[in-house]
Amino acid sequence: MEQLGPVLAIGGVVAFIGGIVYVAWLMEKKRTEAMTAWAQAHAYNFEGERPSLVDELAAFKLFNQGRRRTVKNLMRGSKDSGAVRLCDYQYTTGSGKHQQVHQQTIVVLQTPGRQAPHFFCRRQRALFDSLGKLFGGQDINFDDDPAFSKAYVLQTTGDEQQLRHFMNPGLRDMLTKMGDRNLVLEVVGDTLVLHQGKRLKPDQLDALVADAINLRRHWS
């Protein structure tokens, strides 16, 4: 009987881990079912997992972070402003007990023929960004628009003056009004990627798409 103790303990651990894996699988299954239903109701084509999207959007900052980059629940649709893709995207950073899985629902809006300078824009994080500036981190500010400059970090890998011209008052004002949404926006050429740094419920997808389209309409 004494020999059964370790066996039972190991069995318990295996069962516990198996239970966690099963619950995670079940949650993902329900998530996919909900996203599929949303796609059908909104006339989107549901495509599921599409690893190729990671390579297609390799020019974007989001798709160059971490490892184990995964695209799930991809769906495609179209609006008067261009082609729309929605999906869940995740990647992993750190290792061991410091490992972290980052999940977000993203919208990709592509408008062929309407080019924009590259830029990356996200909400300011007071302490973190103050330290970043001390070490030379880029943040493009507008002296005539302190509200926007205080609210967002704006960066580019291209011509700063070109971006300053592109970031017209209407676009900056819209972003400032959206400040409470924790939006992360990046534009490369004719393609815009937008997310809120988290997974969204299906009933929140319409608002994310609307935000992307409204921002696109304010391009110079």
**CA pseudo-torsion sign 86, 87, 93, 97:** positive
**CA pseudo-torsion sign 188, 194, 199, 202:** negative
Across the strands, what pairs with 92? 67, 101
For residues 69 and 54, the answer to whether their CB atoms sit within 8 Å is yes
For residues 89 and 70, the answer to whether their CB atoms sit within 8 Å is yes
Q: What is the pLDDT of residue 24?
A: 60
**Could you tell me the two tokens for 207?**
């608002």
Cβ contacts of 136 within 8 Å, gap of 6 or more: none
What's 199's DSSP letter? -
- How confident is the chain (220 residues) per 10-residue block, as mean pLDDT? 56 53 70 95 93 92 93 91 92 90 95 88 69 57 94 92 94 93 93 95 95 87
Instruction: Name the helix (H) or strand (E) containing 158.
Output: none
Q: What is the pLDDT of residue 4?
A: 58
What does the alpha-carbon distance between residue 101 and residue 28 come to, in Å, rounded to a whole number?
A: 15
Q: What is the pLDDT of residue 56?
A: 93
Write the single-letter amino acid at 28. Answer: E
Tracing tokens 């239970």 back to the chain, one arrives at: 19
For residues 154 and 120, the answer to whether their CB atoms sit within 8 Å is yes
In terms of DSSP bridges, do strands 82-93 and 191-195 run parallel, antiparallel, or are they unpaired?
unpaired
